[in-house]
Amino acid sequence: MIEVEIEDAAWTDALPGAAAVVERAAMAALGSATGDLVILLTDDAAVGELNHRFRHKDGPTNVLSFPAAESAAPHLGDLVLAFGVCAAEAKTQGKTMADHLSHLTVHGVLHLLGRDHEADDEAEAMEGEERSILASLGVADPYRRDDPSHGDA
């Protein structure tokens, strides 16, 4: 089960189908994996607070992934996305909000499934998996090397 909670109306103002976009991307990223997850679409202030509290970093980021403890199974964890950061990135990168939200959701779900990008080989594998999942959704490669604004989500 995927539960999408929209805490900031800016998400639906900018993208009326935001919940459906997130759910579709999360389902694609889960593939054959089973488990529940909660995705919160909120504002920069809320994500900034969580980023500071749990990662000891100041300011908001685009997406935070909170894997659940194994004892919480079948709950896989939670994702939290910041509207302002995501909207600014989409604009800067020349992407639609739906495509960028799909990418960040896939990226976050893969983290919940244990993927990471700390080492170069991990990053390459994770980006490849993201590209494949996003292509199945009709979303362009977010890591195109000809795009100077590409980067980690």
Query: What are the structural domains, with CATH classification, of the chain?
Result: 2-136 (3.40.390.30)
What is d(CA 63, CA 93) in angstroms, rounded to the nearest whole number? Answer: 16
Q: What is the pLDDT of residue 19?
A: 98
Taking a C-beta distance cutoff of 8 angstroms, is the pair 66, 77 a contact?
A: yes
What is d(CA 64, CA 80) in angstroms, rounded to the nearest whole number? Answer: 5
Chain centre to alpha carbon of residue 30: 13
Percent of the chain with pLDDT over 70: 94
pLDDT at position 50 over 50? yes
pLDDT at position 27 over 70? yes
Q: How far is CA 141 from CA 8, 35, 74, 75, 134, in A?
A: 28, 27, 31, 29, 7
Read off the pLDDT of each residue in 95-114 and give the average, rounded to a whole number: 96
Hey, how many other C-beta atoms are within 10 angstroms of the C-beta on 113?
18
pTM flag (> 0.75)? yes
pLDDT at position 65 over 70? yes
Q: What is the pLDDT of residue 127?
A: 92
What average pLDDT does the chain have?
92
Higher pLDDT, 151 or 10: 10
